[in-house]
Amino acid sequence: MKRFELIAPCHFGLEAVLKREITELGYEITEVEDGRVSFWGDADAVCRANIFLRTAERVLLKAGSFRAVTFEELFDKTKALAWEEYIPKNGKFWVSKAASVKSRLFSPSDIQSIMKKAMVKRLQERYRVEWFPEDGAAYPIRVFLKKDIVTVGIDSSGVSLHKRGYREVSGKAPITETLAAALIMLTPWRRDRVLVDPFCGSGTFPIEAAMMAANIAPGMNRSFTAEAWDNLIDKKNWYDVIDEANEGVRGDISAEDVDIQGYDIDPSVMKVARRNAREAGVDHLIHFQERDVRNLRHPKKYGFIITNPPYGERLEDKKDLPELYRAFGESFRMLDSWSAYMITSYEDAERYFGSKADKNRKIYNGMLKTYYYQFPGPKPPRKKRL
């Protein structure tokens, strides 16, 4: 079976989490760069990466990489790539996105136009045709330029992988599903420990945690562009991977096995969170409740708070933040032996929370610079073996 070099983009700062996921799937890492991880895989790997990876934004087949500092070079070297090995005669192809960092070629629209012309020229020569119907499967191209190095990938995912299929409506300041999953995976939380999100909004943290607890693959309930690539990937590959995902689900897990809770003061977003949990198939594993952070209590020890508190995107909201973070910190200190993890762009988070984080990690949530503050509590005592 043909091997591909695959590229999985991710949030800046979370490459190590994605690398671990890919390695655990059994694939060989070829490169780790800012915002993406590359690895070797066959057609089966394209399916498995799309369906199983929780922290990747999409999965690209690498068509090639080269240096270009002029548009003439960009045209010639794009044309030199073996596009006929990926795109059939009736394939629909276009450069869906071009991004440039510290490169002499920086105009996305010009890069897209020139590369499309080069691809057309190459395929005209290989297929001996003057015109393409482009009425077949879609092969969207994504291009990254960094320090004049052009990396070209064919997008197998289509809609970003953070779109799991369970969240149509978001609350205020939503956090993406892929980012939420990565932040949970940066903590020592496991399904036998309590997890509470006191600012849960549309429920993303509790839902992603519950999906992990039940071993529900994030891509089980959505479609992918590459499903139509019958020239590269057999339908059987997709069926086999879906079977693998279904067989892995822990259907026997119940609310007695996990303790995952989501609170929010806004009753309207609680309705959204419950709906999203139902869509994800994990509503039976999560307890949602309308509750102020001042009333954050739990009888169990060694629990986890993982949350995305408000950070005042609008100036008029910022005046409420000191009291909110102060109340959050006071509630946390009353929870014996708990750990807290929060992502926020609020500069005075630690000051009003009342504790300095053991660690903080800079993470870009889209274009917004945020910090992931980590306040780990003590480890629970080991269970005595009988």
* pLDDT at res. 168: 73
Q: DSSP assignment of 237-293, as one string?
A: HHHHHHHHHHHH--TT--TTT--EEEEES-HHHHHHHHHHHHHHT-GGGEEEEE--G
Mean pLDDT in each 10-residue stretch from start to end of the chain (386 residues)?
A: 93 96 98 97 98 98 98 98 98 98 97 98 97 96 98 98 84 80 98 97 97 98 97 97 97 94 96 96 97 96 96 73 97 97 96 97 88 96 72
CA distance linking residue 2 with residue 61, whole number of Å: 12
- Nearest CA to 62 out of 122, 136, 8, 120 is that of 8
35 in Cβ contact with 12 (< 8 Å): yes
* pLDDT at res. 315: 53
Q: Residue 77, Cβ neighbours under 10 Å: how many?
A: 18
pTM (two decimals): 0.95
- Nearest CA to 144 out of 131, 153, 155, 134 is that of 153
CA distance linking residue 18 with residue 25, whole number of Å: 11
- Nearest CA to 54 out of 251, 272, 216 is that of 216
CA distance linking residue 351 with residue 187, whole number of Å: 22
Q: Residue 122, Cβ neighbours under 10 Å: how many?
A: 18
Residue 101 corresponds to which tokens in the numbers above? 């960092």
Residue 329, helix vs strand vs coil:
helix
CA distance linking residue 341 with residue 45, whole number of Å: 33
* pLDDT at res. 383: 75
* pLDDT at res. 268: 93
Strand partners, 362: 371
* pLDDT at res. 170: 56
